[in-house]
Structure 1
Amino acid sequence: MGGDQHESGTRPSLRERKKLLTRQALIDTAEGMFAERGFDNVTVAEIADAVNVAAKTVFVYFPTKEDLVFHGEDEVLRTLVEHIRNRPAGHTPLDAVVEMLGQTMTASPLGAVTELERLHRTVGESAGLQARMRLMWERFELAVTAELAEDTGVPRYAPRPRIAAAQLVMIYRTMASPEAMTYIRTHPENRRNQAFDDWLAVARDMTGEGIADYARRER
Structure 2
Amino acid sequence: MTTPDKPGLRERKKQRTRTAISDAAIALFLERGFTQVSVAEIAEAAEVSKRTLFAYFPTKEDLVVHRMADHEQEAARVVRARPAHTTPLAALRDHFLDGLRRRDPITGINDHPAVITLTELIYGTPALVDRMQRFKAGGERALAEALRETTDAPDLTARLAAVQVIAVQWALSADNFQRLAAGEAADERYPGAVRDAEHAFDLLANGLAALT
TM range (shorter): 0.7 to 0.9
What is the one-letter code of the residue matched to 1:176?
S
Which whole-Å deviations, capped at 9, do the CAs of 1:114-140 have from their partners, x for residues lacking one? Answer: 466344322244332222111111111
Mapping of 1:1-219 within 5 angstroms? 13-108=8-103, 112-114=110-112, 117-153=116-152, 158-177=155-174, 179-184=175-180, 187-210=184-207
The gaps in structure 1 that reach 5 residues or longer are: 1-10, 212-219
Distance of 1:204 and 1:154 partners within structure 2? 19
Distance 1:18 1:140, change over 3 A: same
Q: TM-score, normalised by structure 1?
A: 0.78
Distance of 2:85 and 2:37 partners within structure 1? 49
Which whole-Å deviations, capped at 9, do the CAs of 1:92-128 have from their partners, x for residues lacking one? Answer: 2222222222222322467834466344322244332
Higher RCO (CA-CA < 8 Å; seq separation 6+): 2
Distance 1:125 1:143, change over 3 A: same
Which whole-Å deviations, capped at 9, do the CAs of 1:38-79 have from their partners, x for residues lacking one? Answer: 111111111111111111111111111111111034311343
Report the alpha carbon displacement of residue 189 of structure 1 after superposing the two structures with TM. 4.7
Distance of 1:117 and 1:172 partners within structure 2? 18
- Contact kept in structure 2, 1:83 and 1:97, CA below 8 Å: yes
Q: CA RMSD in A?
A: 2.6
- The number of residue pairs the alignment matches comes to 198
Distance 1:19 1:149, change over 3 A: same
Secondary structure of the 2:13 match is helix
- Contact kept in structure 2, 1:35 and 1:121, CA below 8 Å: no
The gaps in structure 2 that reach 5 residues or longer are: 1-5
- Contact kept in structure 2, 1:109 and 1:192, CA below 8 Å: no
Distance of 1:205 and 1:153 partners within structure 2? 21
What is the one-letter code of the residue matched to 2:24?
T
Distance of 1:172 and 1:105 partners within structure 2? 11
Q: TM-score, normalised by structure 2?
A: 0.80
